[in-house]
Amino acid sequence: MPQLRLRGQRFVFAVFYKQEKLPFEFSKKYIRLDGEYVGKILKVGVPIALQEMLVQFSFLFIQVIVNSMGVMESAAVGVAEKVCVFLMLTASAYMQSISVFVAQNNGAGKMQRSVRALSYGIKTALAAGAVMGALAFLKGDMLASVFSGQGQVMTYAHRYLKAYAIDCLLTAVLFCFVGFFNGCGKLFL
Give residue-wise pLDDT tens across range 26-68.
677 777 788 888 888 888 788 888 988 998 898 888 888 888 8
Q: What does the pLDDT read at residue 29?
A: 76
| CA geometry: angle 146, 152, 156, nearest 5 deg | 80
What angle, rounded to 10 degrees, do the helices at 71-87 and 151-184 form?
40
pLDDT of residue 22: 62
Q: For the whole prediction, is pTM greater than 0.85?
A: no
Measuring CA to CA, how many Å separate 166 from each of 104, 137, 157? 32, 9, 15
CB atoms within 10 A of CB 94: 24
**pLDDT value, residue 15:** 59
Query: Confidence band (pLDDT; 50, 70, 90) for 77?
Result: confident
Which tens digits make up the pLDDT trace of 120-133?
A: 999 999 999 999 99
Given this model, what pLDDT does residue 151 score? 87
Does 1 have pLDDT greater than 50? Answer: no
Is the pLDDT assigned to residue 90 strictly greater than 70?
yes
- pLDDT exceeds cutoff 70 at 109: yes
What Cα–Cα distance (Å) separates residue 96 from each residue in 28, 38, 85, 100, 172? 33, 21, 15, 6, 12
What does the pLDDT look like over 133-179, one tens digit per residue? 999 999 989 999 998 888 899 999 999 899 889 988 899 899 999 89
State the pLDDT at residue 174.
Answer: 92
What's the pLDDT score for residue 2?
47
- The mean predicted confidence, pLDDT, of the chain is 84
Q: What is the 3-state secondary structure (H, E, C) of the chain?
A: CHHHHHHHHHHHHHHHHCCCCCCCCCCHHHCCCCHHHHHHHHHHHHHHHHHHHHHHHHHHHHHHHHHCCCHHHHHHHHHHHHHHHHHCHHHHHHHHHHHHHHHHHHHCCCHHHHHHHHHHHHHHHHHHHHHHHHHHHHHHHHHHCCCCCCHHHHHHHHHHHHHHHHHHHHHHHHHHHHHHHHHHCCCCC
**Domain spans of the chain, in order of start:** 59-184
Higher model confidence: residue 165 or residue 22?
Answer: 165
12 pLDDT band, cuts 50/70/90, is low
Torsion sign, CA atoms 170, 130, 85, 188: negative
Mean pLDDT within 66-73: 87
